[in-house]
Structure 1
Amino acid sequence: MPELSPNPWEWSEPEWRKIVGRARAGRPLRPASWPGGARCAVTLSFDADHETIPLRDADQSPMRISQGQYGNRQGVPRLRALLARHGVKASFFYPAVSALLHPAEIRGVAEEGHEIGIHSWIHEANTKLPPGVERDLTLRAAETLEKVSGQRPVGMRTASWDFSVDTLAIIREMGLLYDSSLMADDDAYELLDDGKPTGIVELPPEWIRDDAVYFNMVRFSALRPYTPPSAVEEIFRAEFDGAYAEGGIFLLTMHPHIIGHRSRVPLLDRLVDYMKAKPGVWFGTHAEVAQWCKDNAAV
């Protein structure tokens, strides 16, 4: 296909249909029921970015880097303790550089039965990379995570959910079970590639169910945290209540250096208590949820 015009109104129908058809949502994969006859699935995830956000931006500021290190020193230990207390397994998505900086952490997380997922090399923006670089970095990241953690990743989440026009082909080449970067539904669905089923499960996240949009701050910008923990807890509960009412998935994305602060961990503790108190709630890792959906889709 020839190079696209910079003016979208000049695109032909085949051109805009091709764009829309990349990594399209296919058949829904919501099962008739969850393991043990549960009504709803809950899957918690933590993007252990740590120091990679400033590194990605070529920011050498010790202050910014220290904010990321907080995730390793305080955030992850608190979260691991919380998960152990509740008997819940979660999915931890690591940039490879985070794993190399904190090998004992990722090994400990894996040894406790949590899932390790791919989350880029150094939190790079895929859509800004030269051709071919995304594939190289993703393959290297998967190898690094397996070597450091002892666990072979079966799923990935692109950094900042920056899913490029090449990402799906890389996922297919790697033979991954699932992706968790796209947002076409509330519940799991099969990814289509140019209209053709891929067999890959998409576990859709959403900015509404992400701690960073409520709590993040960048000093030299207009980005300031504006939401108290109680309000975030109210939003997350409402999202869970909707998933519970519909018999679907509640997928929550968090970051150790953000949710791991003293004033914020309690909201997650209360949220897990709230969800566990409901009858018929199954907690699974992303890999467990994706496999169950793939094997037990109602249609």
Structure 2
Amino acid sequence: MTKSLERDLIGYGATPPHPQWPNDARLALNFVLNYEEGSEYSIGDNDGVTDSGLVEMSGSPVSRGERDLAAESMFEYGSRVGFWRLMRIFAERQLPLTVYACALALERNPAAAAAIKAADHDICCHGWRWIEHFKLTETEERNHIRLAIESLKKTVGQRPLGWYCRYGPSVNTRKLLMEEGGFLYDSDSYNDELPYYVLAEGRPRLVIPYSLTNNDLKWATGNLGTGEDFFTALKESFDLLYEEGDTHRR
């Protein structure tokens, strides 16, 4: 059986296909809100460590095995304040969102889950928890996928149709998603600007690549200093893709 893990360094090359966007649009633009807060590594969830992914230094200064209350509160800001600000901004502009939802995180904030459900935003599952799937055994990963689906059905009223892991998938992820049978695509790839198909388990599998170019990760790497910097980066990306879209849809 084909596992679809062979590297493809060629892709569409010089002749990308016409994706037939509605109204013959030049560019398909997807806004993604990642909701992870409350599902990250934590002492309270018996992980033995506090997630330091948001700490503005090289790792947490708190000893491993002890709670880092500062790091915990940095995550809490996102669910307490940042989420609601973004929801208001998009509601005011009547723009749809895809929520990359960690299932346990939404269980722990029912009001946020209810707001996502009421807005009828698209759901792409970001895992049961915000942890690296390549660290899980195949059995553990299968169970996480099952838990995530069951949880999101309860909190936002729909099963996810897409999937995206933290950082990257395991060698088993795509196989397990296809085994489950209800996912239309995964976004565990960074290698293109257009969706594409791979042959996986003997069947075609849709991949919608994720962008780290137009991503808040740029703040963590120190490449951005102000909101205007981020806007400029996003606008320049949009303008280039829109210009190219006149001849090759993006």
Global fold match (TM > 0.5): yes
**1:164 counterpart residue number:** 170
| CA–CA distance in structure 1, aligned partners of residues 48 and 113 of structure 2 | 23
What do the CA deviations read for 1:21-61 (whole angstroms, capped 9, x no partner)? 17999779854432123221111101111133342673132
1:34 aligns with 2:25: no
Matching residue of 1:21: 6
CA–CA separation in structure 2 for the residues paired with 1:180 and 1:119: 10
Q: 2: distance between equivalents of 1:87 and 1:192?
A: 37
Q: 1:152-186 CA deviation, whole Å, 9 max, x = no partner? A: 111111112x1111011012122311111202211
Counterpart secondary structure, 2:37: coil
Match of 2:147 in 1: 140
User: How is 1:54-133 mapped onto 2 (pairs within 5 angstroms)?
Assistant: 54-55=41-42, 58-59=49-50, 60-133=67-140
For residues 222-265 of structure 1, what are the alpha-carbon distances to aligned partners after superposition, in whole Å with 9 as ceiling and x for unaligned? Answer: x767532222222211221232123344xxxxxxxxxxxxxxxx
Q: Counterpart of 1:152 in 2: which secondary structure? A: coil
Aligned-partner residue type, residue 167 of structure 1: T
Distance 1:149 1:45, change over 3 A: same
Structure 1 counterpart of 2:176, which letter?
I
Change (3 A) 1:246 1:199: farther
Q: Say which of 143, 167, 174 aligns to 2:180.
A: 174
Task: Return structure 1 stretches of 4+ with deviation > 6 angstroms.
Answer: 22-29
Residue number in structure 1 paired with 2:241: 243
Per the alignment, in what secondary structure is the counterpart of residue 159 of structure 1?
coil
Unmatched tracts of structure 2, length 5 or more:
51-66
Given that residues 190 and 201 in structure 1 are in contact (C-alpha distance below 8 angstroms), is that contact kept between their aligned partners in structure 2? yes
TM-score (norm 1): 0.67
Contact residue 30 and residue 189 of structure 1 kept, 8 A: no
Which structure: greater helix fraction? 1
Distance change (3 Å), C-alpha of 1:228 and 1:50: same
CA RMSD of superposed structures (Å): 2.8
Count of aligned positions? 223
Question: CA 1:151–1:20 in structure 2 vs 1: closer, same or farther (change >3 Å)?
Answer: closer
Whose relative contact order is higher, 1 or 2, with alpha carbons under 8 Å and at least 6 apart? 1
Change in 2 beyond 3 A, CA 1:57/1:209: farther
Q: How far off its partner does 1:207 sit?
A: 1.6
Q: 1:25 to 1:54 in 2, by over 3 A?
A: farther
Residue correspondence of structure 1 range 126-275 to structure 2 within 5 A: 126-160=133-167, 162-175=168-181, 176-193=183-200, 196=202, 198-211=203-216, 213-216=217-220, 226-247=224-245, 248-249=249-250
Cα distance change of structure 1 residues 44 and 51 upon mapping to structure 2, 3 Å threshold: same
Larger proportion of strand: 1
* Closer, same or farther: CA 226–26 of 1 in aligned 2, 3 Å: closer
SS in 2 for 1:208: coil
2:35 matches 1:48: yes
> Partner of 2:138: helix, strand, or coil?
coil
Q: Which runs of 5+ in 1 are unaligned?
A: 1-16, 217-222, 250-299
Return the TM-score normalized by structure 2: 0.79
Does the aligned pair in 2 maintain the 1:24–1:191 contact within 8 Å? no
CA distance in 1, matches of 2:8, 2:81: 37
Taking only the aligned residue pairs, the percentage that are identical comes to: 25
CA distance in 1, matches of 2:140, 2:122: 26
Conserved? CA contact 2:103–2:127, under 8 Å:
yes
